[in-house]
A and B are shown apart, each in its own frame.
Chain A
Amino acid sequence: SAVISQKPSRDICQRGTSLTIQCQVDSQVTMMFWYRQQPGQSLTLIATANQGSEATYESGFVIDKFPISRPNLTFSTLTVSNMSPEDSSIYLCSVYTGNEKLFFGSGTQLSVL
């Protein structure tokens, strides 16, 4: 299994500001995944973060809006930039373990006013 520490657990932010979400994994992993879960919806993949290279973004998500850092094999950050109320969601990081199970952080519940 994997233990993922995600911070902050929740935040209320003003329109136009930015929030950086951190995820720390208790073991080294090649890829970390960032998801968004809008209210009442299922999960949508934002991007895949690889150590030592730029993140790979899914259709509809761009680096200017969701910059990602991956400085080492246990840590990653996702920034939600220039926020609007439409960005209010739960943001989740996740990793695969050796047995191919996907493990998630505890999530960041973001509300934008």
Chain B
Amino acid sequence: KQEVTQIPAALSVPEGENLVLNCSFTDSAIYNLQWFRQDPGKGLTSLLLIQSSQREQTSGRLNASLDKSSGRSTLYIAASQPGDSATYLCAVKDAGNMLTFGGGTRLMVKP
């Protein structure tokens, strides 16, 4: 059974800092991995999707990387802003279309 872990569970940084969020998974036979953002009490917003054959995806200040062999993905946020404050979740989809979510990293960017 796939298990997805996100460390740290919470992170507080000053505005302007570059930061890295981590996502690890136990079964490397994945189909794709997706990063989401969730604001308090709200739904999830898709940020980046990485297919199993890809190494990274970029969107604006966000860059997500994938290393299947080591069971890891990172989400890099450049020049963080207070508006980036949210919970970030990764989700791994396996070949059987089962989607497993990590527990999320709660990010606070202080002005």
Interface centre among B43, B46, B49, B99 (most CB of A within 10 A): B43
Bound together, the chains give a CA A105 to CA B42 distance in angstroms of: 8
Within 8 A of A (CB), among B1-43: 32, 34, 36, 41-43
Number of B interface residues at 8 Å Cβ cutoff, please give it: 18
Bound together, the chains give a CA A103 to CA B44 distance in angstroms of: 7
Q: Does B44 contact A101, Cβ atoms closer than 8 Å?
A: no
A43 close to chain B: CB less than 8 A: yes
Given contacts A101-B49, A102-B91, contact A92 B32 (CB under 8 A): no
Shortest distance from the beta carbon of A34 to any chain B beta carbon, whole Å: 12
Shortest distance from the beta carbon of A11 to any chain B beta carbon, whole Å: 12
Bound together, the chains give a CA A10 to CA B44 distance in angstroms of: 16
Within 8 A of B (CB), among A81-102: 90, 92, 94, 99-102
Bound together, the chains give a CA A10 to CA B40 distance in angstroms of: 13
Residue of B nearest to A107 (CB): B43
Residue of B nearest to A92 (CB): B43
A66 close to chain B: CB less than 8 A: no
Query: Chain A contact residues (Cβ within 8 angstroms of B): what range?
Result: 20 to 34
Bound together, the chains give a CA A66 to CA B5 distance in angstroms of: 28
Bound together, the chains give a CA A107 to CA B83 distance in angstroms of: 20
Shortest distance from the beta carbon of A93 to any chain B beta carbon, whole Å: 9
Shortest distance from the beta carbon of B99 to any chain A beta carbon, whole Å: 7
Q: Does B49 contact A42, Cβ atoms closer than 8 Å?
A: no
Q: Does B34 contact A101, Cβ atoms closer than 8 Å?
A: yes
Q: Does A6 contact B43, Cβ atoms closer than 8 Å?
A: yes
* Residues of A with C-beta under 8 A to B34: 101-102
Bound together, the chains give a CA A61 to CA B22 distance in angstroms of: 30
Q: Encode B73-111 as 1/0 by CB contact (under 8 A) with A.
A: 000000000000000010100000001011110000000
5 A-B pairs closest in CB distance: A104-B43, A107-B43, A104-B44, A42-B101, A106-B43
